[in-house]
Amino acid sequence: MSTTNVLHIASSATSDASQSRRLASHLITRLGDNTPVTVTEQDLRQDLPLLTQDMVFANFTPAADRTTAQHEVLAPGDVLIEQLEAADVLVISVPMYNFGPPAALKAWVDLVVRAGRTFQYGESGPEGLLADRPVYVVVSSGGVPLGSDVDYASGWLTTVLGFVGLTSVTLIDATGTSIDLDATIARATAQIDNLRLVVAT
């Protein structure tokens, strides 16, 4: 039986106290119920470089013409993109902070959404260059309901993922932890347990 490569992008600023991390861990465990899985953990609490002018200019320089410094400045993004390309399944744990995603997740997006590498513009508009694969997004919040008018995290992330070709996205609703923690976690856990989890395209 082949092994499924699972990439977990953890964006919470906390570790053991993070509900989104715990639920993502449960989801990954469930992914391994019927097939062996290898998990790559990308913890965004580790400092990611923010997008800079040098990165932008380097990316728009043809690869064959880039200087050593330009290759070096793009290297952190290269690693993150290679992780995406190698993953059979993507799990993203996303707490909402102040109605939106953590800044670390935005930094990750700015490094992996790269013209000519993960998307391009064709005759009909933008085209994602990543092969589609199952994506599970665990969204937690203290009180902002998933999909509400003040949820600026889930819609943004779904749009970004689709932009690079990842359209098979399932949202796990763990919103409302400050209102009723036990009920919220129970609901999200049940949603995970009732999913027909897809582990390969």
Helix (H) or strand (E) run with residue 9 in it: strand 4-10
Q: Does domain 4-194 have CATH number 3.40.50.360?
A: yes
pLDDT tens figures, 46-94:
889 999 999 999 999 999 999 999 999 999 999 999 999 999 999 999 9
pLDDT band at 142 (very low <50, low <70, confident <90, very high): very high
Write the CB contacts of 176 (distance below 8 Å, at least 6 apart in sequence). Answer: 141, 142, 143, 145, 183, 184
- The percent of residues above 90 in pLDDT, for the chain, comes to 89
Angle at 48 between CA 19 and CA 30, to 5 degrees: 35
Write the CB contacts of 9 (distance below 8 Å, at least 6 apart in sequence). Answer: 42, 44, 90, 91, 92, 93, 105, 108
pLDDT band at 200 (very low <50, low <70, confident <90, very high): low
pLDDT computed for residue 197 by the predictor: 75
CB distance 43 to 118 below 8 Å: no
pLDDT tens figures, 109-120:
999 999 999 999
Domains of the chain, by residue range, sit at 4-194
Q: Which residues pair with 139 in a beta bridge?
A: 94, 173
